[in-house]
Chains A and B, each alone.
Chain A
Amino acid sequence: MADALSTTFAALADPTRRAILGRLAKGEATVNELAEPFRISLPAVSRHLKVLESAGLITRGRDAQWRPCRLEAEALKDIDDWLARYRRFWTTRFDRMDDYIAELKKADTKSKKEKRK
């Protein structure tokens, strides 16, 4: 079974689903409202919504007639946190890369000087 983060990323790895999320970022919407900008059928939109719902990216209202979809910020925050951890990791490594380059240059200058002697 895939971990939660993989499920979230899989759900995001589709342009239609990202567009749906973009629309929901402006506020709640029904399936009909969400389907409007896309040239796809209502069942197809519903399938996308199911994927988003099982990834925890959206929730849907309980009313059988009016089931507005709502964006869930928590799942997005998990992704943000995940990217932030990687950013910290690589940024500190690249700082170290800088130091190491300086060390290599110093060693190189020293060996050249010794060769000249």
Chain B
Amino acid sequence: MSATLADDELLITRTFDAPASLIFALWSQPEHFKRWMGPGSYDCPMAEFDFRVGGSYRAVIRSKDTGDSGFAGVYREIVPNRRLVFTFAWTNTGPSAGVETLITITFAEKNGKTVQTFHQTPFLNVEARDRHIGGWDSAFDKLKTYAETTAKEHRP
């Protein structure tokens, strides 16, 4: 449980053994995207991208257990092979439905390998997002400690 509570904000860094142009293609081209979004525990039967700033995308993942889950968003920034910013929200009902988030991905290639940083934050509008970038961390550092201890105390 404490490991879960340590996640105060979504930041996932991964190094892939491939050039940045390929990793960028995996995000920007539906035929590639469908292949890594599924299969596994589910499939990705549908992905439609209008890949340009202001363009929208939508996709569906299908699981035997939970059925179809859709997600959609709008591209906000596109810098080929370097940076990708888009909104993301689940379109079904569920605990996270309708909560719009902003995903920022950067790609840095070195010696044929690419470091991908994936950052996802919830926000309600651009103004709110700009305010909380950089300010979110420190407050949460304190809060997570509090949440952790209190959650433990409250557990039967």
Contact = CB atoms under 8 A, between A and B. Distances in A.
Interface of A: 3, 5-6, 9-10, 12-15, 18-19, 21-22, 25-26, 71, 73-74, 76-77, 80-87, 90-94, 96-102, 104-105
Contact of A21 (B16, B98, B143): B143
Which 7 pairs show the lowest CB-CB distances between chains A and B?
A73-B150, A18-B139, A13-B128, A25-B146, A76-B147, A25-B142, A97-B36
A79 B5 CA distance: 9
A51 B10 CA distance: 25
A96 B34 CA distance: 11
Given A10-B128, A15-B132, A76-B144, 14 more contacts: A5-B122, A9-B122, A14-B128, A18-B139, A26-B142, A71-B146, A73-B146, A87-B7, A94-B14, A96-B38, A96-B40, A97-B23, A101-B26, A105-B17
Interface residues of B, number: 50
Contacts of B131: 13-15
B118 interface: yes
B50 interface: no
Contacts of B26: 97, 100-101
B143 A81 contact: no
Given A6-B124, A101-B16, A80 B136 contact: no
A108 B98 CA distance: 40
Contacts of A3: 97-99
B96 interface: yes
A5 to B, nearest CB: 5
A20 to B, nearest CB: 9
B99 A92 contact: no
Contacts of B154: 73-74
B67 interface: no
A90 B120 contact: yes
Contacts of B29: none
